């Protein structure tokens, strides 16, 4: 495969071509001005190159011929010297163009060198190009912004993998411990073995819920939908989520107000998001608490608000609840009922649909979650 010229050489040849063409056009203009017949030259004046003007009367065709030969010789010499000068200037412009091109491309080489030195283990480094705020500086700043986003994503993924490993290890360890205890007792009866099997099954279901939530999270974060957006009956999705979570003996007071709202989106992801909101509100609550669910239509789309009572949530900790496996300390005892990815999935689904998710502490304890989804 033939290697093409470098950008520096192409810029050099471009500069040289511009100089050569400009010089050639200038010579053509000068030649045209010199060779045209002067309209205001007196008929009795004869100019001899290299001498003072001499006023002589016309003495026939001999004098005219001598004058014409002298002028032609002077023009020929001027043309030869001009072309020689153009060749010399063009040759010099090659070196000058090489230096100018190198000066122009110096920031590009700086960006390339620093970018090549950045790896997955040094994402905190930046191009940090100095100089005037021109197009190259804007390119470097854009690349730095991209690096910042990549660094944030990589850190989030690494933190998710580490926490996910811990979360999956816990039910597997509990399952193994229950089975080991049962098998280590040679006198274990059917009741004890059944209890060990029930514990192992419960921990296996917990691990399955975690894996299922991770699959939904990965699907939402990837930005890949199963197909084009379809009209989703958000009212039916919320009503179904409430029916699945609400129990006659849960001791909770349910306040549900749902308007008829239909928005475009992916039905599975939106259904999972609103179900997670309702499940979290019921699970992280007080024995005789309140769960308020409302759905209203807005000029730009839909607004879902899920409010629940419960322990006090610090204002600076509310936003962190959307992080993977982030639970409050008093929720650790209820870990079996959830996997710590509910609000994380909701945020991923919201971002996937171009919406907005806001969490704020509720006055008197609990949490208020507002989900806004666009109409298009």
Q: For 48-90, write each residue's pLDDT tens digit.
A: 444 444 454 545 676 767 767 776 777 778 778 888 888 888 8
> Does residue 196 have a pLDDT over 80?
yes
More confidently predicted of 252 and 34: 252
Q: What is the largest CA-CA distance in the chain?
A: 147
Tokens 């209890």 locate to 195
Higher pLDDT, 368 or 223: 368
pLDDT at 296 over 90: yes
Confidence bin at 340 (pLDDT 50/70/90): low
Measured between alpha carbons, how far is 375 from 265 in angstroms, rounded to an integer?
9
The arithmetic mean of pLDDT across residues 321-330, rounded, is: 62
Tens-digit pLDDT profile for residues 151-169: 877 776 776 677 667 667 7
Higher model confidence: residue 147 or residue 338?
A: 147
pLDDT attached to residue 47: 47
- β-strand pairing of 253-258 with 290-298: parallel
What is the structure's pLDDT at 332?
35
Give me the phi and psi of 261, to 5 degrees please.
Answer: -135, 130
pLDDT of residue 107: 83
Q: Could you report the per-residue pLDDT of 258-288, keeping only the tens digit for each?
A: 999 999 988 888 888 898 899 889 988 888 8
Q: Which residues of 249-287 are buried (b: 16+ CB within 10 A; e: fewer)?
A: eeebeeeeebeebebbbbbebbbbbbbbbbbbbbebbee
Residue 41 pLDDT > 70: no
Q: What's the pLDDT score for residue 105?
A: 82
């Amino acid at each position: 495969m033939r290697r093409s010229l470098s950008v520096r050489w192409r810029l050099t040849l471009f500069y040289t071509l511009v100089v050569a063409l400009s010089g050639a056009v200038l010579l053509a203009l000068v030649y045209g001005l010199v060779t045209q017949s002067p309209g205001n030259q007196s008929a009795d004046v004869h100019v001899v190159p290299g001498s003072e003007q001499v006023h002589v009367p016309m003495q026939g065709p001999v004098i005219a011929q001598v004058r014409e030969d002298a002028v032609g010789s002077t023009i020929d010499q001027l043309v030869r010297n001009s072309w020689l000068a153009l060749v010399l200037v063009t040759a010099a412009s090659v070196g000058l163009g090489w230096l100018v091109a190198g000066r122009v491309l110096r920031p590009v080489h700086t960006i390339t060198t620093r970018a090549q030195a950045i790896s997955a283990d040094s994402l905190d480094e930046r191009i940090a190009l100095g100089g005037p705020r021109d197009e190259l500086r804007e390119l470097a700043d854009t690349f730095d912004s991209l690096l910042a986003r990549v660094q944030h994503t990589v850190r989030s993924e690494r933190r998710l993998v580490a926490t996910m490993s811990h979360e999956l290890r816990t039910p597997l360890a509990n399952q193994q411990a229950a089975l080991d205890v049962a098998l280590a007792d040679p006198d274990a009866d059917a009741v004890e073995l059944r209890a060990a099997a029930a514990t192992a099954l419960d921990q296996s279901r917990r691990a399955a819920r975690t894996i299922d939530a991770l699959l939904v999270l990965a699907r939402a974060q990837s930005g890949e939908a199963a197909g084009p957006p379809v009209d989703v009956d958000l009212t039916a999705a919320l009503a179904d989520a409430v029916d699945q979570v609400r129990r006659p003996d849960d001791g909770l007071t349910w306040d549900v107000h749902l308007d008829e709202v239909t928005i475009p989106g992916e039905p599975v992801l939106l259904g999972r998001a609103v179900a997670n909101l309702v499940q979290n509100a019921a699970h992280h609550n007080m024995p005789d608490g309140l769960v308020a669910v409302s759905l209203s239509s807005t000029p730009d789309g839909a607004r879902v608000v899920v409010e629940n009572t419960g322990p006090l949530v610090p204002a600076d900790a509310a936003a962190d609840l959307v992080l993977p496996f982030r639970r409050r300390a008093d929720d650790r005892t209820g870990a079996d009922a959830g996997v710590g990815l509910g609000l994380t999935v909701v945020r991923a689904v919201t971002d996937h649909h171009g919406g907005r998710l806001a969490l704020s502490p509720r006055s008197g304890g609990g949490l208020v979650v507002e989900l806004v989804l666009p109409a298009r």
